Chains A and B, each alone.
Chain A
């Protein structure tokens, strides 16, 4: 290779000259692995896989290329981004063009760029009406919670501990996903999808669990970039799309994610999510028991009152026909049966109380029937005492005329009339021989 101006050999072909320049550049350490910062313009991701752009600031500019696969390109990098690159200077001989061949590229103010994207996403969601859409109602007692978070994380341990404090053995499915890094958004979205599938009754049936009725998605605290998955559109859209209420539980109190803005409920931390969604078993069990006791006490009082009015009814029934008593008995016994059937499936304490109630009703009914029987016996006795046949036994007899009418006065008799005498054990025919009127007042 020529190293100087040697007139004897004639002019250098331009290509050779350019390559000479290239070699010189490549040998100078100043131009290799240099760290350079600037703003991106003419950012172009070519269909051939390479990325071309120009790095520029107020004092100069230079073309740059990122060969396909040479380095990771942050998806946030775009036209106007301020970046820092590590690059070698190279000269493309064919075009006589100097360019940077980039081996690393990063945003200078990544967080700033992230914040800009976040703001844009929030604005888009607001325009679509997704921030003030009607939220899904959370179940008072969740039958199956799906928790999407980092497996083995401290946040998960906290949540599990809190759940078991509040409602020991509450059913839950934990879906372990990456919550930070490149794969986090995709995995969180897939986790939400899996939880949604588990909320479909047919699918849940196959897995022999009740359908998922609550989803908690989140992670513990970390650097803003580590939490960023929860500010990204795919995750946010997946939360919006869920048919099951979603609680977002990301980071600390002060971290506000876009996920928080669209979720059906925002919890300030993972632990807070449990406090907001998992009820206390003891409280609800006590509530149930107290309602049961009040219901039974009230019913018992009513039954006692009822028994009193039954007794009252009893005394009024003295003059009622037997059929009425029978109907009343049927009614009361039917009510009693219903009352005892009602609570067949309830806890034993209540069943016992009910049994007492039923016994009281039966007692009342039996007592009423016994009283009724007594009343009938009394009626029978007084009826018997006024039966004329009993009088005949005492030596009296009853006179009837031909037509069977009872004759009690001499006025109804004529001499020679045929009469019948009824005696205790039979009858006798007689003829009236004479009539003597006695004292009419007798």
Chain B
């Protein structure tokens, strides 16, 4: 997965892959490659969804500045 891959690009590519698999008529090897790519993209998207989850951190300006200068 390239470093510049973004969630929206991944979704866009997934849509393309699903559509071409749905259309069919692709050689078996190509099908497998597409499926493989689609599976990786889906895993990436799931990671992206999970990565957004975290703590709520509320700090006063001075506190965060202190923490940053540690």
A-to-B contact residues, CB < 8 Å? 139-144, 151, 160, 167, 169-177, 187, 190-191, 194, 197-198, 203, 207, 209-210, 281, 284-285, 287-288, 291-292, 294-295, 297-299, 301-302, 305-306, 335, 338-339, 342-343, 345-347
Contact = CB atoms under 8 A, between A and B. Distances in A.
A174 B32 CA distance: 46
Contact of A295 (B8, B26, B35, B53): B35
B35 to A, nearest CB: 5
Contacts of A169: 53-54, 56
A364 to B, nearest CB: 13
A165 to B, nearest CB: 14
Contact of B59 (A160, A173, A209): A173
A291 B51 CA distance: 19
Contacts of A306: 28
Contacts of A342: 35-36, 39-40
Nearest to A332: B28
Interface of B: 6-8, 11, 14-15, 17-18, 21-22, 24, 26, 28, 31-32, 35-36, 38-40, 42-43, 45-46, 48-49, 51-61, 64-65, 67-68
B11 A295 contact: no
B61 A207 contact: no
A175 B61 contact: yes
Given A291-B14, A342-B39, A343-B39, A142 B61 contact: no
B7 A141 contact: yes
Given A194-B64, A295-B14, A346 B52 contact: no
Contacts of A176: 58-61
A190 B65 contact: yes
Contact of A171 (B15, B35, B53): B53
B21 A299 contact: yes
Contact of B52 (A171, A177, A187, A207): A171
A175 B49 CA distance: 24
Nearest to A167: B52
Contacts of A305: 24
B31 A302 contact: yes
27 contacts: A141-B51, A167-B52, A169-B53, A169-B54, A170-B53, A171-B54, A171-B55, A172-B54, A174-B58, A176-B59, A191-B61, A194-B65, A281-B49, A284-B49, A287-B11, A288-B45, A288-B46, A288-B49, A291-B42, A294-B18, A295-B21, A297-B22, A299-B21, A299-B35, A335-B32, A343-B43, A346-B43
Contacts of A187: 61
Contacts of B59: 173-176
